[in-house]
Amino acid sequence: MIVDHLNVWSGRKRVGALWRGDDGRLMGFEYDAQWQANGHAISNSLPLDQRLWPPETLTAHHWFGNLLPEEQARAALIRQLGIPDDDFALLAAIGGDCAGALLVLPPHLTPEALETQSESVPLSPTDLNEWAGFKQRYALFHPSPGSVQPRLSLAGAQDKIPVIWQNERFHLPQGLSSSSHIVKFAVEGRDLIIYNELYLNTLASLVGLPCPATFVRHTGKHALLIVERFDRSNVNGQRVRIHQEDLCQALGLARTHKYQEHGGPHFSECIQRIREVCKPPAPALTQLLRWQIFNALVGNSDGHAKNVSLLQDDKGKWHMAPAYDLVGTVVLGFDPHIAFSIGEQTNAQQLLPRDWQKLAAQSRMSYPFIKREIERLHQRIMACSNSNELKSRLLTAGLPEKAWMRLQQQRQHIAKQCRKAERW
């Protein structure tokens, strides 16, 4: 059945509708009249004072397209589902559990209809092990007879699935039930990425940069990273979705423009958007600056515009989400050039005071303030990065004892960067 319209829901309230344009690929969006009168804008790029976004403007297409998997994860999913490689078709297939609070459903499905389904189904250890072992990717999307096909969408290039994780058991959410955690799998040939992200997420939390609780578990011989969802909360024993958007969505950009070097925003543009939408802006601006400093100190060159998100409260106010996808890409052999330049410098190992001074001028921030934040953060990271307290937290979170030694290169890189930061 060819679907040309999709309904967008927040809980049981209809937010609006998506539709295919005349070319069959681009998407338009229109707010529901009642939502426009009583709801909140779902994006800083889709304000409520405008109701209709035609496909040719690309604004709505960019926002909803940013909900979808990218690169190899997208390609594998399209092959498994046997659908065209276009954003609308993917949303129609897997838009039922996106990042944030929205559900994207075909016309024949409503939240009320989904309530009749079971809340979750156990995730087969065999499926999980095969996925972790780079076999039968997206087999979850071929349900057994009589079961309901999962409607799971998570943006990003790394393979991941949303799950309900309770009592060390994994379940797939069904119906209106939302996931509680994200399971991330290693990039083929780079299993250390799992332990590295656990290390940096835990370090970030220890030095005061908000970051979701993160754990490692194993299936067979493969490591899994389990990350608590920050776009979910517990209200009276029930999981509740929290609306969010990343900075590509907030700025009205396509996912292909997440990197500055590929036409994406400069750090100063992100600062300005945060200044405009977060009230009061000071806490959010400080958190974003600390995130950029942290990335420079630990060697995370993949801190792009889709790796910064905003959360919306029930009054429609926006604030910064915790940090996520913190990976030491430099020591893992990925592109060492940082996603957001500092001044004009894209090599964090060659930073000088003039680069931070230029960033301050571009962002309309005080350089003495930035310098104080650098000093504060590098001292805390230096004190914690090789500490017994950090090691204890990691072991409690599931890091194997032998993996601590495998992280030695990451700790050495941090120590080297922290020494350089004394001159920034």
Dihedral sign for Cα 124, 126, 132, 134, please. negative
Tell me the C-alpha distance between 231 and 217, whole Å.
22
Task: Say which amino acid occupies 41.
Answer: A
Catalytic residue flag (residue 313)? no
Q: What is the DSSP string of 387-416?
A: -HHHHHHHHHTT--HHHHHHTHHHHHHHHH
Could you give the CA distance from residue 342 to residue 339 in angstroms, rounded to a whole number? 9
Tokens of 422: 């004394």
Catalytic residue among 231, 246, 302, 325: 302
Residue (of 93, 143, 290) closest to 203 by Cα position: 290
Q: Scanning the structure block, which residue is given the tokens 């409503």?
A: 110
Dihedral pair phi/psi, residue 122, rounded to 5°: -60, 140
Instruction: Annotate 285-323 with three-state secondary structure.
Output: HHHHHHHHHHHHHHCCCCCCHHHCEEEECCCCCEEECCC
Of the candidates 142, 137, 151, 143, the one whose C-alpha atom is nearest the C-alpha of residue 75 is 137
Q: What is the Cα–Cα distance from 357 to 370, expressed in whole angstroms?
A: 9
In 3-state terms, what secondary structure has residue 23?
coil
Residue 102 Cα distances to 10, 95, 160, 229, angstroms: 5, 9, 19, 15
- Evaluate whether 229 touches 180 at the Cβ level (below 8 Å): yes
Written as six digits, the tokens of 291 are 């995130």
What residues act catalytically? Answer: 302
